[in-house]
Structure 1
Amino acid sequence: MGDRKVVSVHDRIPALREQRKKRANRRVILTISTFFLLIGIVVYFQSPLSHIRSIEVDGVVTGEEGEVTVKSGLTTGESIWAADLNSAESGVEELPYVMSASISRSFPTTLHIDVQERERVAYLEENGSFVPVYANGESMPDQSLDQLPGDAPILYGWEDKSQLDMFLSELEELEDGVANHISEVHPVNRDNDVLRLYMNDGIEVETYINNFAEYMSTYSLVAEELNSSEPGILHMKMSPYFETFANPEEEEENGEEEENTEA
């Protein structure tokens, strides 16, 4: 007890008062800061500071950035926080060549539209122009090409939309290695179920729409066994076989022999 220090109540009162004063000051500062923060938020939302000033589009190769922006329904000048981004994404995804769209806010006044495009799986030949066609069966006449494209097969003489959709579905299942070999596709009959293909390696192929992907899957292996200089048609069906064309000179000679015999 002799070593214990005794502090007078009168000595502690100033320290307690100072602590209470500091706590009171902190509360006042916090209250004032919150007040001005709320005012700032209200001013921000009510002023042009929160309006969209720019809309940036990424990932567009096939289409036009302006077209994507229009389909989104987003415009500069509206509140960046009031914009319905889900609805805007759905609008962009209505474009035939768009597989998916993602829109995000970039503080303070910019919106980013990221687009993932569908692949062009073929081109429809229409009056000398080539209309891109996508895996979902949609086409874009506005993006027609005047020059012969080389990145996908060209479809000639297609009139039956249901058969075209079936073919595109089969084409999408075909491996890229084989699909990239196809240069032209022509329906052979009125029903469009028999197809004549002209391949980039010079081989002429006949096959069906039904089971097209299955029948053409072995094309590369079969083509390796063929003499590309020999004229004929490769039938890619359940059991592939090569039909040789008759030599024109031989046909001429046979024709002359028949005429001499008849004479």
Structure 2
Amino acid sequence: MEQTQFMPVLKEPEPKKKGNRKLLIILFLLFAVLLAILFFNSSVSKISAITISGQQYIGAVEVEEASGIAVGDAFFGTSSNTVESRIEKLSSVKKATVTKNFPGDVHIQVEEFPSVGYELSPQGEITALLSNGTTLSMHGRDFVVDKPVLAKWPAKDPNKVKLTKVLAELPPSIIGDFSEIIPIPSASYPDRIKIYTRTQFEVITAISLLKEKAPRLVAVIEQQAPGKVTMLLADTYSEYQSDFLESEDSNEKETTQ
């Protein structure tokens, strides 16, 4: 008896789905592009407000102009680092910090170089001297002269810039007592200066020695009566005569009347 042999059933190959996948990818990309276009053309993607704080000597308008951004610009159009570097090119700005809060808010925090004194121009205009040597007009600003006034300094005297940098390294309590600083250069000390203090001392020293001599000067002012102090190669002190103090007091009264 013959045995019947069965042939195995061959499965038909499944249709390839590559075409469907490509179509889905294309549709997804088109949808993503459409969403991106709608987003970047909507008000949500724009800068809606710019706030500026921390500045004292320059105006908010000047800071905003230097930043290179404005309300209505693309929120993601410029990086925070780029905006910060633009603002820090302003001569009075020491550091700028830009913070973005989505949607639309940009905050700029400005840190300026501190003022170390003021200067009186021949025309009688007061300018602020910053620790990096920058001068800024104080015309139209409210301020208190709580730091020394530099008088009789030539416009391009390099020692003036050196002085501002040294003053920036001194404690505020020290420079707060300085009322006036004038240059009195000599052959031995081209950077020699005379300092008048609010505590009625007259100090002769040099810019290159001022930081070193400052602690000794504080000790003299705290322990001695008003007088003349010289702090160069050697330190000397001499008390004012009583008639000098009387003339100083009378001069002060005349200026206040």
Give the TM-score normalised by structure 1: 0.71
The Cα shift of 1:36 comes to: 6.2
Q: Choose which of 36, 40, 47 in structure 2 pairs with 1:45.
A: 40
Q: In the alignment, is residue 58 of structure 1 matched against residue 56 of structure 2?
A: no
Question: Judging changes above 3 Å, is the alpha-carbon distance between structure 1 residues 220 and 248 closer, same or farther for their aligned structure 2 residues?
Answer: closer
1:156-207 Cα distance to aligned partner (Å, 9 max, x none): 0111431111112221222222222111101124786221111011111111
Q: In the alignment, is residue 208 of structure 1 matched against residue 201 of structure 2?
A: no
Aligned to 1:140: 136
Please show how residues 163-182 of structure 1 align to structure 2 within 5 Å. Answer: 163-182=159-178
Residue 174 of structure 1 contacts residue 217 of structure 1 at CA under 8 Å; is this kept in 2? no
Which AA in structure 1 matches 2:201? I
The Cα shift of 1:241 comes to: 1.3
The Cα shift of 1:147 comes to: 8.0
Q: Choose which of 224, 239, 261 in structure 1 pairs with 2:234.
A: 239
Please show how residues 30-179 of structure 1 align to structure 2 within 5 Å. Answer: 39-126=34-121, 127-141=123-137, 143-144=138-139, 149-159=144-154, 160-179=156-175
Question: Judging changes above 3 Å, is the alpha-carbon distance between structure 1 residues 203 and 37 closer, same or farther for their aligned structure 2 residues?
Answer: same
Q: Distance in 2 between matches of 1:174 and 1:195?
A: 16
Partner SS for 1:211: helix
Residue 130 of structure 1 contacts residue 145 of structure 1 at CA under 8 Å; is this kept in 2? no
Q: Distance in 2 between matches of 1:248 and 1:104?
A: 61
Which AA in structure 1 matches 2:98? I
Question: Judging changes above 3 Å, is the alpha-carbon distance between structure 1 residues 34 and 58 closer, same or farther for their aligned structure 2 residues?
Answer: farther
Structure 2: which 5+ runs fail to align? 1-26, 245-257
Identity rate, percent: 24
Q: Distance in 2 between matches of 1:217 and 1:145?
A: 37
Give the TM-score normalised by structure 2: 0.73
Question: Which has the larger helix fraction?
Answer: 1
Q: Distance in 2 between matches of 1:164 and 1:223?
A: 25
Structure 1: which 5+ runs fail to align? 1-31, 250-263
Residue 73 of structure 1 contacts residue 91 of structure 1 at CA under 8 Å; is this kept in 2? yes
1:120-166 Cα distance to aligned partner (Å, 9 max, x none): 1111111212101111111113x346888422211001114311111
Aligned to 2:195: 197
